[in-house]
Structure 1
Amino acid sequence: MRSIMCPNCAAPLELEDTQTHVTCPFCSVTSELKKVDDLVEHYMLPVAYDVDQIRTELVGDILKSPGTPDDLHKSLNLKKVDLKFYPYYIVTAHLRTEYKGNGEYATFSHRYKSGYRNIDIHLKPEQGVFDDEREFIIWGAKEIINDLINFEISTRGKRYFQALEADKVKAKVVASVLDTEQAKVQGIASIREIHKGLMYKELAQIQEVKDKPEIKGIYLLHIPFYFLEFEVAGKLYEATMDAATGRTVITKIPREKSYWALIGMMSAFFGIIGIAGIYFTVTASQGASFFGLGINFVGVFAAITGVVFTIRTLLLGLRSKYRETRRKKR
């Protein structure tokens, strides 16, 4: 058995390898399967973690953050669990770009002490070629969920999509609103944008560009995610988990009151150091002279240290979410 998308309505269709025709149960259109390469293959990642296992993974990730309750493995209660498969297109695009333009170089004259009085910028003709192939992950759902769009997904362990497998775990399958051509266009646009950035690293002016894009491969992949609502110490929190790998997409972090008290004390301590440093800097009658002003450099150091550590402590303390590594910008 394998799965493809209906060429007419994009619904998932399951068929035997020996089939020559398939009729879509949703739109009733019968398609001939002579040109199998023209049909987008449809895959899924299996739900590898049940609710108890995903709860264990969530607790482990939350405990990586400071100030969380020690008994979290007992006190965390799941209140709501939703399991959904979201669509991604995996597009492999190849692009050869030939470019011409002007680069820049500098000439220096009238040397003075450790530098030059005059620096002149000149243009010179340059040309080159970028030729590479990249894989792009393209969000296919109508709903915009930035945490899932930016999540570093895995395609390892994919299998042909089967609706019965999703039904068995009572998961909702979110349909893709993108068709194949739209996904291809996005893939080509993405690799062109990368080449454009590379050209501007080489050139100050782009005069001529010739490129030849090609789609090397494309398939639709549905990935399962848990959307959890959980309670700790009477407060509700939310988390999103990858049901295929057990990784935490994002979660809010429950923290104890003693943690907030410690953060407040540390912020106040560093704040006092900063204020004291500012006071001694302004009122100092001794110290090094700087442009005719009496400045206590110990006070300056204390002021800067106090301010920096106060801000740093507050930023770390107020961080309320934990997330896995986000997808790298290409």
Structure 2
Amino acid sequence: MSASSEPECVFAAECELGEGPVWRKDDDALWFVDIKGLRIHRYEAATGAAWSWPAPAQPGFLAPVAGGGWIAGLKTGLHRFDPQTGGFELLAEVEDAGLGNRLNDGFVDAQGRLWFGSMHDAEAEPTGALYRLDGEGLKRCDAGYCITNGPAVSPDGRTLYHTDTLKRLIYAFDLSPAGELSHRRVFAQVDEGYPDGPAVDAEGCVWTGLFAGWGARRYSPAGELLETVRFPVANVTKLAFGGDDLMTVYATTAWKGLSSAERDGQPFAGGLFRFEVSTPGLPQNEMRHV
């Protein structure tokens, strides 16, 4: 049973693999990427207007920077992205191209640190890893993933959640004030579709999109399933809280992997969706270590 409103498609972006929604309060807009379509999108909530930019390589995530601007995680590494010019400037290569990996999902914590994962682009080998970028530089924090998603952090900053999508597991780690991870354990095992990008609300509950699962789920801090929100599309990738009260949830979706007949039956697959919730999300953090 759902306490949330029914999702509606607000932007028919037709993303092959929509991902990484980020609410930017200062321009009242939702930003996200189409990984396989090599696009960055911006949706203006008040007007419904949308803009998009081409990316030079597969974009996995966008991270807002304090004072303005963005860091984009592309297959080729971390880049500065300037929407004014559409330009990308390489800051750092993350992994050897021979691994066949790309960067996937990312998150900025309350200390302004960037967390992100890499994954095997062909989704066949466990060559992906979890990274942290802060004032001390780039650190590899966990490894052995085929498809990484997340992370997300609890309201008190003491627990980090990270997803192993192919194993259908959401992990929890203890997170120290210095950004060190320990005590990895299973937070939830998903039995419907595949857990994709997570987000945490003000009560510490963990939301996850369900790829091939036709919806999104909300779990208590103890890992108990509280709510399922059904979508009219199979592949729900990631959620982000937006609006002035952070009680509007935006969700990216994908048509990747759908047959022609399935796409005909899911005309809004790859669109940006929106629904309302009764518990607000957490404010979007900005990077302070670039």
TM-score range, shorter chain: under 0.3
Select the structure that is richer in helix: 1
TM-score of the two chains, using structure 2 as the length reference: 0.21
Greater relative CO, 1 or 2 (CA 8 Å, sep 6+): 1
TM-score of the two chains, using structure 1 as the length reference: 0.19
Select the structure that is richer in strand: 2
